[in-house]
Structure 1
Amino acid sequence: MAESQNNTAQLLELWHSFRYLLLLLGVAGVFVLKLRSYIRNFEQREGKGLTALKPTTWVQVPVKAESKPSVKTHITPRRIVGKRGLKPKNGGKAASEVEEGEFDIQTLIFYSTLTGSTQRCAEELRTRLFGVKGESIYPTLSIPTPSNSLVSVPIRRSFLPPAVYNLEEVELDDFFVTLPNENGKKVKYVYLLLLPTYETDAPIRPFLEHLRETHHDFRIDTAPLRSLAGFSVFGFGDSSEWPAEEGKFCKDAVEVDKWMGKLTGGKGGTRRMFPVGMGDVNPAVGPNSAEKSLDEWRVHLEDAMREYAATGALGDSADWRTAIESGDEDSDFEIVDPADDMVDVEDLGNVIRTDPAVAKKGNVVKRKAVLPVDFTTLAGRKALEAGEGQSADRKEMVPKGGVTYETLTKQGYTIVGSHSGVKICRWTKSALRGRGSCYKFSFYGIKSHLCMETTPSLSCSNKCVFCWRHGTNPVGTTWRWKVDPPEEIFKGVVEGHYRKIKMMKGVPGVRADRFSEAFKIRHCALSLVGEPIFYPYINEFLHLLHSSKISSFLVCNAQHPAQLAALGHVTQLYVSIDASNKDSLKKIDRPLHRDFWERFQQCLDILREKRNQHRTVFRLTLVKGFNIEDEVQGYADLVEKGLPCFVEVKGVTYCGTSTAGEAGLTMKNVPFYEEVVAFVEALNAELSKRGLGYGIAAEHAHSCCALIASNHFFINGKWHTLIDYAKFFELLESGKEFGPEDYVGEATPEWANWGNGGFDPADQRVYRKGKGPKEEVEESGGCG
């Protein structure tokens, strides 16, 4: 017993003597093991370590031998991490978004099926992708040269023959947590997913659950598929089971598209190569309707894949978050106030310029100022055509690199030439996602994704308190700047619009069919910032639009009677009527012309004369505290004076800047829709009392807007506010005189009529959080 106690004492003495050393060795051992694990994971992330697991089942297709994934054994637990790109500088693409060098592109087609029809479509897609076999290796891409001609350039990145997989038969972790590895060979993967939506429980449920769990698993990076070349989803659905207006048509495909977007980039971007496509298998829609939709989706997808092969990048779609929406109608974008030293163009006419070299001595040099030539008048036009006023001294309205240029660019404008601009409207984005078009669709049949919003003149002669640009655009009463030819402006705005549409390719929920349609502009809203009628060649610009079968909706501010009188045919002519009396107009529009009220009255007289040649519209913007209270009588007087075809009444959209605040405009000045409705009903009652023949025709409650129409458009007991655009172009080409009643379209749809809200039931309305029905609060990339 004594010996045992002695041994224990010796052990305790040894422990106390060497315990610090032993603890240190233990910590060092743990550190070495952790370091070894980290190095192994780093090699795996960089493609230098072991390869991914082999899928359990492979469909036999003619692929290159080296394209089949190898077997890999997991040695230690690890956290799955995708390749995170570097933050772009100066608005450029992140380093990881552009793949340099040569590599192969492997297309993997995944499908889920219950009856076998989707499998047949997947195999057909594999056969038809890129048409002929020879194109899959070294295809060509047509690119423009400096002389605007096209040249075919070979793409030195080959497309491997596609492979097809059933989602029920593969190990999902090997494709949707990690990517297959090609034994050191650089291969980029494109995932195409063909997914049906059934009314009953479908085999796609486990796959959806896997994507959801992968995203929320804390052990896995939130975007483990970031290194994918790209993905695209196509859904099959039956509209007889789930109509589009219920928001469930192809809902499984929409859901997969949403989660794939998160797993390939999350909030930092997405690898969506093309928007989700949809095919309707309902026989009542038409024979082979779904197959035709799939084939159209394939054609556009091939273009995107060729672009990736040529450039190593997804193109503009990777930058969709920079495509800022228009401030028109409830934009969330916060406008940046202009620089403190920004001077209105109106104040630059006869200023005294100081020579920097002489200013140091305190001397001021007066230079001869450029005399303003009003090119918008007939005399001015003749002077312009004679070459007068276009000297080197004449400035550009919005010079590139200037404060105004930078400010408007930040607000989402594409500046064309020296005085024109184009911008994508938030309603265009909404329509592309199947979430509704603007009020012009309810009233006049304009689909927002087919509409271009532009202006040939960024300058305006008013400084309205509710202007969305908040004084960042130039202003002036006469045209003092260089003049760009209409052909260059037309080409520039169309190209700029298409570039912005292309940037929407990666936006969650964008529908492939509407995305494809959006590259066929059919309408042009000449509004935005500025005064379109101010442009000297506005009639020539309108001719270019009409020659391309693009309808024209021109908005003017009733301050340029000479230009209004000389205006040629437009599809619809708007005049902003922001007040019913001189004092209110001065307070709201803050016009630069001293004789603004006389000009305003002249424009109403001209509009009355033109009512038999144009569809004329009074646009009333209601600002509570400015032009609503006790002004119904005054507005009725103006309607009686101009006799427009239509009167649009709309609540103001608060712009939320210091400029608006200085003018006394706050959120309290934004009327509720109930207040707009009360005003419309009161105005309509006053017009009826005077026997003017008007009635309330339609509404778009989402835009806080209602339409009063002349009874000339109340035909056979129904309102006909829509436009027959084909008939308009036919009449225009005939060269004969015609009026607004000659191209009246079909009856206004029932859902757009007064009292029915005005939201298209074929689209899905998505409410902001905290507003609207609970089931529609969360945005899930919905489509209609």
Structure 2
Amino acid sequence: MAHENWPQKALWPVEITDIVALWHTYRIPIILSTFTILIVFRTILHIRAPREKLSDSPPPSSPNLPAEKEKLLVVDSKIPVAKAPRRIVGGLKKRSSSQEDARPREQKIQVLIFFSSLTGTTEKTAKVFTEQLAKSQADSAIFLEPQLLDLSYIDYDEYFITPPKGEPGISYFYLLLLPTYNIDTVLDNFLEHLQETHHDFRIDTAPLSPLLGYSVFGFGDREGWPTEEEGFCSQAREVDKWMAKLTARKRAFPLGLGDPKRDATERLKEWKEGVEDVLAHIAETGSLGEGVVGSGDAVESDVEDVDEDDGEVLFEEQEVAKRKSRLQKKDTLNDLEDIGGTLNKTPSAQNVESSAPLEVDFTTYSKGGRPTAPPTAPAVTKEMVPKNSPTYTALTKQGYSIVGSHSGVKICRWTKSALRGRGSCYKYSFYGIASHQCMETTPSLSCSNKCVFCWRHGTNPVGTTWRWVVDPPDLIFNGVKAGHYKKIKMMRGVPGVRAERFAEAMQIRHCALSLVGEPIFYPHINEFTAMLHKEHISSFLVCNAQHPDQLAALKPVTQLYVSIDASNRESLRKIDRPLHRDFWERFQRCLDILREKRFQQRTVFRLTLVKGFNIEDEAEGYADLVEKGLPCFVEVKGVTYCGTSSSAGAGLTMQNVPFYEEVCAFVEALNAALARRGLAYGIAAEHAHSCCILIASDRFKKNGKWHTRIDYEKFFECLESGKSFTPEDYMGPETPEWATWGKGGFDPRDERVFRKGKNKVALTGSQGEVMGEKEVVEIDS
């Protein structure tokens, strides 16, 4: 068996050898063929896989096409249909239902309505507009109740640098109802703020872009300014322009313009309907959409001219200068609020000072890489308070005599009271100033603050730099004296006026430069005070600590006041509402200057206490300021409520007027804080009738007695000697006993009169002994 199978077994090595030989001969073609087959097979599977998926489901719908057109494009569900190109058409951008559902339903819309008004016409219109808008949105849960805001009483930084920081989910929409004035008002500063915000390199050029949108309506007068080119609604158009820039052109509805004498009611109604349509669209879609008429197109505003190719911005100042030069051709201006126009005729050459050079925006560059230089523009100077302006009318109705174009004089109630023997103001108790011989005036009716407790409620002009006609000091000096004497003469026939005091009143002995505005704002204030001193009229000058350069250049006056209305930056911003952005830095510099002047003249800190603003827990902060400035005196006075709706709009009511007991408690706390700092001060005098208390430096205390009064003749001798002198050199006699702390401060020679229904000031036993026999009650008719 072994021999039979042997040949077969011998063949195996031969066959294997043949296969191996065959493999070595054809291995390369076999490998390549196998590899090629695998690649082809894999490619076929990869290509076929997507086709099978497409065939299992219909093609996706296009959000840009209606359902009917979409069906026509689907011929066979297995054949892919190419998308049609997107068509860009005018009109509002429509969202699909899925997109609308994606909008957060919890979003709320807050409409803020801003207005400006001098005599109240625009304010009334704005209130009615707000009520109507609230009714139209009452059924919608998306809209919050519209808020009405007066531009005179808001902080621009809170609304016009960034949108308000409200609760999450609230978006804001701005509406502005603005008249155009022919004098400097808050609107001028508002426009300046918008322009500075846009050009501030530290701030985004469009910081208000998060707003949902904005729209402006302007009121003007077509009789004086028939066309927009001639000034019709010029300030509203300026605001519209700058708001377009700051919001990245989110003009929700075109600028509305109306004439109160002709068509303002109809135009405002049409504008309101358009705004409501836009708001309804925003509520539905969440945005303005695309293609909204007036939504920032440059041609919608006549001064949004930007040459994108050259990279050079057209200077708005040039356009404004051209418009102002056209307005100067008008011979007269109407006394209107909410009407057009911004300028009067340029005064005579001797009164015109060259205006400051136009600002250069060094953040704007041309292609050459150099800053774009402003074109030359004609210098335009105007009057601060023209005789045919609303401000002139408002101030004269309040009892002012306007002198020249920027000064005023007025007799206060204490002058009338002193003439009738019913008491002088606290200045008599503290410093020996007889109120009936005191003239209250100011060489500048303009101010750089908008204090919540201001007597004038925003009717006086405001500004940060002097840009008006400058009247010569002799014209002002002679004018205010004549105006004061004229008003004194009008008191001749008033019942109760004492003959001897009337005769004394015809000789001015003191001048309080604290009427309204900012006296050191006047460029020739030193010449004016020199004229007062030449006639031996003492000078009591009050400034608001916002003009350090002018304060440093001020020559000695009889007594220099600086208003210290808050102990910290935030309180000062809320109370004084300063126009300067660096108001706190200016404030601190003025304190340093006052510290330097304390040995050259009598210096005073004037603290006006406003309950709810600057009383609670601020005694320590005030003590720090006193330590910084080291004034000779610190006057602490409770705010006087003026009782107008304008004050209420600023957040000031009778609840903000502190009781005299509260003022006393604050003074005691402040005095204790000064003592803890090792400062030599004490409570020297009081005048309860004025709700005013005096803290004095120990420099004015001799042998344990206070000497806060002034020797006025000695002051003029020191001044005329030409030698340097100190406040101690003209320190007066001892402060009367009845004026010292705890005695009430009412002059025993006079009669204390209380008006009907007014509570009497609580008196101590010693006060009652002095005043008890002299008190009578005045019954108002």
TM-score by length of 2: 0.53
Cα deviation, 1:584-627, whole Å, max 9, x if unaligned, reads 00000000000000000000000001101010000000011100
Identify the residue that residue 711 of structure 2 maps to in structure 1.
724
Correspondent of 2:185 among 345, 355, 360:
345
Give the conservation status (yes or no) of the 8 Å contact 2:627–2:679: yes
C-alpha deviation, 1:370, in angstroms: 5.8
CA contact under 8 A between 1:444 and 1:722: conserved in structure 2? yes
Shift of 1:356: 3.1
Deviation string, structure 1 residues 287-342 (Cα, Å, up to 9, x no partner): xxxxxxxxxxxxxxxxxxxxxxxxxxxxxxxxxxxxxxxxxxxxxxxxxxxx9765
Instruction: Give RMSD over aligned pairs.
Output: 2.9
Question: Aligned letter for 1:434?
Answer: G
Q: CA deviation at 1:662?
A: 2.1
1:185-584 alignment runs, 5 A limit: 344-345=184-185, 347-348=187-188, 356-357=226-227, 368-369=319-320, 387-389=353-355, 393-584=380-571
In the aligned structure 2, how far is the partner of 1:348 from the partner of 1:588? Answer: 21
Structure 1 CA distance, aligned partners of 2:701 and 2:390? Answer: 50
2:683·2:741 contact (CA, 8 Å) conserved in 1?
yes
After TM superposition, the runs of 4+ consecutive aligned structure 1 residues lying more than 6 A away are: 349-355, 360-363, 383-386
2:517 match: secondary structure: coil
Q: Specify the code of the residue in structure 2 equivalent to 1:389.
A: S
Contact 1:465–1:659 (CA under 8 A) maintained in structure 2: no
Query: What stretches of structure 2 of length at least 5 have no aligned partner?
Result: 1-177, 196-219, 233-299, 304-315, 325-348, 357-377, 761-771
The alpha carbon displacement at 1:663 in A equals: 2.2
Query: Which consecutive residues of structure 1, in runs of 5 or more, have no partner in the other structure?
Result: 1-338, 373-382
C-alpha change, 1:470 and 1:340, in structure 2 (3 Å) is farther
- The 8 Å contact of residues 752 and 774 in structure 2, kept in 1 or not, is answered as no
Taking the aligned partners of 1:619 and 1:713, their CA distance within structure 2 comes to 18
Deviations 1:506-530 (A, max 9, x none): 1100000000110100000000110
Question: Using CA pairs below 8 Å that are at least 6 residues apart, which structure has the higher relative contact order?
Answer: 1
Residue number among 632, 636, 643 corresponding to 1:649 in the alignment:
636
**Cα distance change, pair 370–455 in 1 and its aligned pair in 2 (3 A):** farther
Instruction: Give CA-to-partner distance per residue, 1:617-640, whole Å, 9 cap, x none.
Output: 000000111000010110000000
The aligned length equals 433
The one-letter code sitting in structure 1 at the alignment partner of 2:623 is: A
Tell me whether 1:713 sits opposite 2:700 in the alignment: yes
Structure 1 residue 346, shift from structure 2 partner: 5.5
Q: Which residue of 2 aligns with 1:186?
A: none
> CA contact under 8 A between 1:768 and 1:777: conserved in structure 2?
no
CA gap of 1:484–1:386, structure 2 versus 1, over 3 A, is: closer
Structure 2 Cα separation of the partners of residues 512 and 780 of structure 1: 23
For residues 229 and 546 of structure 2, the distance between their equivalents in structure 1, rounded to whole angstroms, comes to: 40
Of residues 563, 574, 585 in structure 2, which corresponds to 1:587?
574
Q: Secondary structure at the match of 1:397?
A: coil
The amino acid of 1:669's aligned partner reads N
Matched, 1:695 2:682: yes
Instruction: Give identity over the alignment, percent.
Output: 73
Paired position in structure 1 for 2:660:
673
Say if 1:433 and 1:598 are closer, same or farther in 2 by CA, change over 3 A. Answer: same
CA positional deviation for 1:358: 5.4
Q: Does the 8 A contact of 2:351 with 2:469 survive in 1?
A: no
The change in CA–CA distance for 1:624 and 1:779 in structure 2 (over 3 A counts) is closer
Contact 2:756/2:779 (8 A) holds in 1:
no
| 1:415-474 C-alpha deviation (Å, 9 max, x unpaired) | 000000000010000000011100000000000000000000000000000001000000
Aligned twin of 2:104? none
**CA shift for structure 1 position 345:** 3.2
CA distance in 1, matches of 2:750, 2:625: 37
What is the alpha-carbon distance in structure 2 between the residues aligned to residue 418 and residue 495 of structure 1? 16
- 1:604 matched to 2:444? The reply is no
The one-letter code of the counterpart of 2:355 is G
- Partners of 1:581 and 1:546 lie apart in 2 by 36
Match of 1:553, SS state, is strand
Residues 370, 576 of structure 1: alpha-carbon distance in 2 compared, 3 angstrom cutoff: farther
1:182-229 superposed Cα distances (whole Å, 9 cap, x missing partner): xxxxxxxxxxxxxxxxxxxxxxxxxxxxxxxxxxxxxxxxxxxxxxxx
Aligned equivalent of 1:757, options 726, 731, 744? 744
Distance 1:387 1:402, change over 3 A: closer
Instruction: Give distance in 2, aligned partners of 1:775 and 1:728.
Output: 34
Work out whether 1:684 is the aligned partner of 2:671: yes
Structure 2 letter corresponding to 1:444: Y
| Structure 1 partner of 2:211 | none
Report how far residue 384 of structure 1 moved. 9.9
Structure 1 distance, partners of 2:321, 2:473, is 24
In the TM superposition, residue 389 of structure 1 has moved relative to its aligned partner by: 3.4
The secondary structure found in structure 1 opposite 2:685 is strand
* Structure 1 position 725, deviation (Å): 0.2
Q: Which has the larger radius of gyration?
A: 2
